[in-house]
A = this chain, B = another copy of it.
Amino acid sequence: MILLRSHIGTALRAARIEQGRTLRDVAKSARVSLGYLSEVERGHKEASSELLNAICSALDLSLSTILLDVANVVRAHETPLVTLQVVETAA
């Protein structure tokens, strides 16, 4: 099952890693506990809208950037795999 919180967590974690920052650093900047941020990143906890804003702000990312990322990943997961079958026919 596609869960929004998992994809949001993955996107936030990827952004933090890309910036070479620690959980402790981002948690402090967002004024959330390290344990909370870790749970959010792992998709174990739903971030409230207010704390999602705080985390995005700590990462210097707009909420829409994260949402667009997540929407695209979710769309890719939703798209059913298409299997092409080449059928040889006699000429």
- List the interface of chain A (C-beta within 8 A of B): 1-6, 46, 48-50, 52-53, 62-64, 67-68, 70-72, 74-75, 78
Q: A68-B71, A71-B71 are in contact. Are A78 and B63 (CB under 8 A)?
A: yes
When the two chains form their complex, are residues B50 and A3 in contact, meaning their CB atoms are under 8 A apart? yes
- Nearest opposing residue in chain B for A2, CB measure: B63
Bound: A16/B49 CA distance, A = 22
The residues of B that contact A46 with a CB separation of less than 8 Å are 46, 48-49
When the two chains form their complex, are residues A74 and B67 in contact, meaning their CB atoms are under 8 A apart? yes
Bound: A53/B46 CA distance, A = 14
Q: How far is the CB of A88 from chain B (nearest CB, A)?
A: 36
